[in-house]
Amino acid sequence: MPDIEFLQPTTLEEAIKLLAQYGEEAHVLAGGTFLTLLLKQGFIAPRALVSLHRIPGLRHIQERPDEGLCIGALVTHREVETSALVKQRYPLLAETYAQVANVRVRNQATVGGNLADADYASDPPASLTALDAHVRITGPNGQRTVPVRDFIIGHYQTVLEPGEIITEVVVPPPAPDVRSTYVKFRTRSSEDRPCASVAVALRLENGRCQDLRVVVGAVADRPQVVDEALALARGQALTEALIGEIAGAYASAIEPLSDLRGSAWYRTQIIEVLVRRAIHTLVD
């Protein structure tokens, strides 16, 4: 591994200037779980690593009345998993982050770093999408906010522009009667990434669906949402037949990839099963 300059700015402004100075030869360092793997395997050979760990204001979990849950980019998966606030008010996130790899990884991997990696087989993006979360980004041109749904645009690709840094993830306040779940299907070890996963958020009123969000993860280059299928549920009672129709529509609409965890054909079957099972969990 070549010598790499390790830079430790103490402000966002300084970090952004360093990224501009080094250009494509610099990488941002947050938790480093994925970055270290890329370095060891020789996929990247940066001249410099710009660490965010001396920059204040990036490691908080707090609820703001006008925004909802605000999670700093350097908050670890384990901190989300164990947060009393998250478990009480945003249980889908606690449930999801608790299923990532193992405790050692969760103690190191960060919320912002995970999104910046844009790993298609990662757990959190599906649940963050189901909760309509947004990514707050700071760069040379100031600050902007992007829905998680639009943030990942391809395999290991995001909308981040050169010099931009994720600073926070914001999750809107949940409706008081919303139900949610995260279902993950593994084909290998219990610590493995999913072959397929489904995050669901559901709100019922008088037995009828007022809002249904279903996001399938780990089957394509980004989390998958089939809006046409979700429209079938609006204002309807979620009967066995309707749940099956929604699950079938998801399986038909998504074009899954093949990898070591499962073929495209296998994933299509799993998508239908998981979507049906996840919705049933919240209706029963």
pTM metric for this prediction: 0.97
Q: Classify each residue of 22-44 as buried b or exposed e, where b means 16 or more C-beta atoms within 10 Å of its C-beta.
A: beeebbbbbbbbbbeeebeeeee
Regarding the domain delimited by 61-171, which CATH topology (the fold level of the hierarchy) does it fall under? 3.30.465
State pLDDT tens for residues 40-70. 999 999 999 999 999 999 999 999 999 999 9
Question: What residues contact residue 173 under an 8 Å CB cut-off, 6+ apart?
Answer: 63, 68, 69, 89
Has residue 2 got a pLDDT over 90? no
Distance CA 272, CA 257 (A): 15
CATH, range 179-283: 3.30.390.50
The Cα 13–Cα 182 span in angstroms is: 37
Greatest Cα pair distance, the chain, in angstroms, is 63
Question: Residue 275 pLDDT more than 90?
Answer: yes
Q: Going by C-beta distance under 8 Å and a sequence separation of 6 or more, which residues neighbour residue 41?
A: none
15: pLDDT strictly greater than 70? yes
Question: Where residue 191 falls among pLDDT bands split at 50, 70, 90?
Answer: confident
Whole-angstrom distance, CA of residue 135 vs CA of residue 151:
8
Is domain 5-51 annotated with CATH 3.40.190.10? no
Residue 1 binned pLDDT confidence (cut-offs 50, 70, 90):
low
Strand 26-29 relative to strand 48-51: parallel, antiparallel, unpaired? parallel
pLDDT, residue 234, reads 97
For residue 70 the two structure tokens come to: 């605000």
Domain boundaries, the chain: 5-51, 61-171, 179-283
Place of tokens 């639009």: 150
Query: At a CB cut-off of 8 Å and minimum separation 6, what does 64 contact?
Result: 70
Closest CA to 10 of 57, 48, 49: 57
Q: Which of 73-82, 125-134, 190-199 has the lowest mean pLDDT?
A: 190-199
C-alpha 130/C-alpha 8 separation (Å) is 35
- Percent of the chain residues past pLDDT 70, beyond the cut: 99
Contacts of 235 (CB under 8 A, 6+ apart): 208, 209, 210
Give the separation between CA 93 and CA 98, rounded to whole angstroms.
8
Instruction: Look at 284 and 80; give whichever has higher pLDDT.
Output: 80
